[in-house]
Amino acid sequence: MDWSPLKHLVETHRNWILLSHAKPDGDAIGSLLGLAAAIRSTGAMATPILEGGLPSRYRFMDPNGWLVLRDNVSQDLWTNADALAVVDTGTWSQLGHWAEKVRAFPGFKMVIDHHSTQDAIASVNFITTDPEANCRLIYEAGRSLGFVPDALAAQALYIGLATDTGWFRHGNTKPESFGLAFELVNLGANPTLIYREIYERSSLGKLRLSGRLLSRVSLHLNGQVVGSEILFGDWADIGAIPEDAEDLIDLVRVLEGTKVGFVLVERNPGETRGSLRGRDGFDVAALAQSFGGGGHKAAAGFSFHGSAQEAKGLLLERLKERLASNT
């Protein structure tokens, strides 16, 4: 990646808005905080904004309160900004509430992203699918500005790197990521603390939700596909919240002998979120894109206007076609 234009862009634009995708994960939040720290180190302003709320498991990432929630964003913030950066996504559908604001924004716009699915959002793009985690790109962007992460920024970047590589166990994890992890730990990231905060603080609702999901696991298409659903009524029934559904796809994708795993979550009546995982080279990003979503070849997601059962029927139809053609 040629980062040489970035220094000039930051020198000539001094008030930045930073955005990422809806339902932010560790890589999105780490990218927002890491880029904000890098831009602020030059003396410019940078305000990282979340599309919705900050998931409780990631609240420890922002002890200084840099992240601005959607309901707290003033019109003055948009009016005063002269530049905007979108990180860890390059599609309009993933920007949720902010999509129309970004379309109408009169200032400079850029994207820093590592996904294959892209729309024409910005005039300057730093996009490559080579890094497994977007925080790898944010680290490189920061270094091009002369920024050396402090302990807090190093921790945010490590979280993005670790979560998007499945704690370095995913097959696409590259040697460079292990090297960056080493450097970030030396700069102050604490892997033990990070893992405990993210993965060892489950609520009772999440545990019960996991059981409900596993009770509905089913095989499809001659055992090539495994999937399950969370229905809208489950939230009140077992005392869970939509945030508790994060990472539940990992409970399903492990079934031996399958090529595709899916989890469909009814967040609201008529609103379903789909998570997809692929094996043996099956491209779930292309499948998600057919629903208006996107992601990586082995991990992707989409939103669907309809029930989980409706989404499941259409998903299995498209999976049948794609598995038959081995795409």
Domain boundary residue, one of 199, 220, 240: 199
Q: Do residue 162 and residue 294 come from a single domain?
A: no
Q: Do residue 195 and residue 214 come from a single domain?
A: no
Is residue 261 within 8 Å of 81, Cβ to Cβ? no
Cβ neighbours around 309 below 10 Å, total: 12
Residues of the chain with pLDDT under 50: none
Domain boundary residue, one of 141, 164, 199: 199
**In the prediction, which pLDDT does 171 show?**
81
Distance CA 267, CA 180 (A): 36
Domain boundary residue, one of 138, 164, 199: 199
Strand, helix or coil for residue 303: strand
**Phi and psi dihedrals of 87, rounded to 5?**
-125, 145
Give the tens place of pLDDT for each residue, 63-113: 999 999 988 999 999 999 999 999 999 999 889 889 999 999 999 999 999
Q: Do residue 151 and residue 79 come from a single domain?
A: yes
Is residue 181 within 8 Å of 173, Cβ to Cβ? no
Q: Do residue 138 and residue 275 come from a single domain?
A: no
Specify the pairing of strand 45-49 against strand 83-87: unpaired
Burial of residue 184, with CB atoms counted within 10 A of its CB: 0-12 exposed, 13-18 middle, 19 or more buried: buried
**In the prediction, which pLDDT does 243 show?**
85
Q: Do residue 225 and residue 186 come from a single domain?
A: no
**In the prediction, which pLDDT does 326 show?**
67
Strand, helix or coil for residue 200: coil
Distance CA 293, CA 282 (A): 16
For 66, the domain range is: 4-199
Q: Please report, for the domain that includes residue 10, its CATH number.
A: 3.90.1640.10
Q: Do residue 65 and residue 177 come from a single domain?
A: yes
**In the prediction, which pLDDT does 136 show?**
98
